[in-house]
Chain A
Amino acid sequence: MLTLNHVARRFANGVEALHDVSLSLDAGDFVALLGPSGCGKSTLLRLIAGLDAPDGGQLVWRDGVPAPGALGFVFQDATLLPWATAAENVFLPLRLRGIGWADAGAKVTAALAQVGLGGFADARPHQLSGGMRMRVSIARALVSRPRVLLMDEPFAALDEFTRHKLQEDLLALWRELGCTIIFVTHSLYEAAFLARRIVLMSPRPGRIVQDIASEVRSGAAARLDPAYAALVAQITGHLRAVA
């Protein structure tokens, strides 16, 4: 689906955010970009989104660069419009692309239902909990029916209980929708639970150090699966190379 060839990115202040990153991503996969702060994983995600351009190498999309709407992006914070209702927030991407409420209404309602917020269309962000705000944010990304969903540490600011529930619901959505998910995280437990493939990155300069395929059966029960524990142990073994 997408191939990165020797991608490099150096910021104006001289920091080498990415150094010679080559990676091939398959359609329908769930990939975790895992690494400590400053390893360039968010930069890599912004390059894939087209929000930033590489200084070296190239990104090659097999079916051409995605049109607006074919890419969904979920940020670390919910980043909702505080003055707008949940439904208006989910409607926003469609509205920006010139789609009227008459055509979008059903899609907005469906997206809110998909993330379990069917009854909260008229709630404003300050009336919702942190987890619910993140669900609205995910619905806003899903409403365009994106081929690729890019997520930048979306659950990092949530409490453990909320995070587990959202992780399980995200997996269910991924199986239901069949889109590709590229998920940036600094939690190896999160990566091991969610992803089919884990790309481990290391900082200064940001580069890929391991590419691990997961054999864990996905689902809520996976946290107790010996394969999950083994995968966590395997990643832990590689951490020395990262730090």
Chain B
Amino acid sequence: MTAQTRLAPVLFFVLMLLVWEGLVRLTNVPAYLVPGPWAIGQAFLQAPSVLLGSLASTLLVTFVALIVSALVGVALAVAMVASKWARAAIQPWAVVLQVTPIVAIAPLIIVWVGDPFAALVVCAVIVAFFPIFSNTAIGLGAAPADLLDLFRLNGAGTWDTIRLLRLPAALPYFLAGLRVSGGLSLVGAVVAEFVAGSGGVASGLAYRILEAGYRLQIPRMFAALVLLSLAGLAINAALAGLARLLLARYGDTTPR
């Protein structure tokens, strides 16, 4: 990327903000319907510590959920490649979890789990774990047939084949899944907070959005949304950087 192409999205963003602010002022739309960027910035600066504290709370749920998703997803994928029985047992349940709408079962989970933080993490994991799991499972199965033959010729056991061939071969797939799951983990955390927030348990960004909505503090609601978007962009960029770092020694033979 040249300096110009790097600058282009920033310039476009600033231009859109100016157009937005101009339209809001020209048409005299009240701030409780559509606030302009200026009003949103003001709303954030009025109480930055409240919103940033809520962001930290949501991000903590997101990160714990992402780490749990990675551990559970990889463990299940390895179990599936190690044993046909495990494959037959796990596959349908993983799909069931994937298609279960989290909003529908989140209230149940919050009641069952009890501890609010753990309940939020469980909900976010249910949303986030599938891409890691399915990508890792595909990667574990994508080891070249010739290399599998080479391992067989040298008398390698199942565990050595997984450890020395299948797991490193699956790393690029795992990292691609992790990047998708990073965003989903944030979405899952926010959705769970929405459900929990209406019961008055949580302090995450979703709770701020709900609260601001009830009080018709629409600019503040938008400020919370902007923070969420920025957090999503940061997570995505961080995971992309991690993938570049870990895959440097693979050369250009990696998928995606």
Binding site for B on A (CB under 8 A): 49-51, 68-69, 71, 73, 75-77, 79, 81-83, 92-93, 95-97, 124-127
A68's nearest neighbour on chain B, judged by CB, is B155
How many chain B residues touch A (CB < 8 A): the figure is 21
B143's nearest neighbour on chain A, judged by CB, is A81
The 5 closest A-B pairs by CB, nearest first: A126-B251, A68-B155, A96-B154, A79-B146, A75-B146
Binding site for A on B (CB under 8 A): 144, 146-147, 149-156, 160, 164-165, 168, 171, 249-253
Q: Which residues of B contact A124 (CB under 8 A)?
A: 249, 251
Q: Are A73 and B253 neighbours in the complex by a CB distance under 8 Å?
A: no
Q: Which residues of A contact B150 (CB under 8 A)?
A: 73, 75, 79, 92-93
Cα distance A73–B152 when bound, in Å?
11
B153, B164, B251, B253 — most chain A CB neighbours (10 Å): B153
Q: Are B250 and A82 neighbours in the complex by a CB distance under 8 Å?
A: yes
Q: Which residues of B contact A75 (CB under 8 A)?
A: 146, 149-150
Q: Are B155 and A97 neighbours in the complex by a CB distance under 8 Å?
A: yes
Which of A51, A82, A126, A127 is B152 in contact with, Cβ under 8 Å?
A51
Q: Are A71 and B153 neighbours in the complex by a CB distance under 8 Å?
A: yes
Q: Which residues of B contact A92 (CB under 8 A)?
A: 150, 154, 164
Q: Are B147 and A96 neighbours in the complex by a CB distance under 8 Å?
A: no
Q: Which residues of A contact B165 (CB under 8 A)?
A: 81
- Shortest beta-carbon distance from A87 to chain B in Å: 14
Which secondary structure characterizes the binding site on chain B? helix
Q: Are A83 and B152 neighbours in the complex by a CB distance under 8 Å?
A: no
- Shortest beta-carbon distance from A78 to chain B in Å: 9
Q: Which residues of B contact A96 (CB under 8 A)?
A: 151, 154-156, 160, 164
Q: Which residues of B contact A50 (CB under 8 A)?
A: 153
Known: A76-B146, A83-B249, A126-B250. 5 other contacts (CB 8 A): A73-B153, A92-B164, A96-B151, A96-B155, A126-B251
Q: Are B252 and A126 neighbours in the complex by a CB distance under 8 Å?
A: yes
- Shortest beta-carbon distance from A139 to chain B in Å: 13
Q: Are A51 and B251 neighbours in the complex by a CB distance under 8 Å?
A: no
A73, A76, A96, A125 — most chain B CB neighbours (10 Å): A96
Q: Which residues of A contact B160 (CB under 8 A)?
A: 96
Q: Which residues of B contact A49 (CB under 8 A)?
A: 149, 153
Q: Which residues of A contact B251 (CB under 8 A)?
A: 82, 124-127
Q: Are B253 and A126 neighbours in the complex by a CB distance under 8 Å?
A: yes
Q: Which residues of B contact A69 (CB under 8 A)?
A: 154
A49's nearest neighbour on chain B, judged by CB, is B153
A95's nearest neighbour on chain B, judged by CB, is B164
- Shortest beta-carbon distance from B23 to chain A in Å: 52
Q: Are B147 and A93 neighbours in the complex by a CB distance under 8 Å?
A: no
Which of B144, B146, B153 is A68 in contact with, Cβ under 8 Å?
B153
12 A-B residue pairings within 8 Å (CB atoms): A51-B149, A68-B153, A73-B149, A75-B150, A79-B144, A79-B146, A83-B168, A83-B249, A95-B164, A96-B151, A96-B160, A97-B154
Q: Which residues of B contact A93 (CB under 8 A)?
A: 150, 153-154
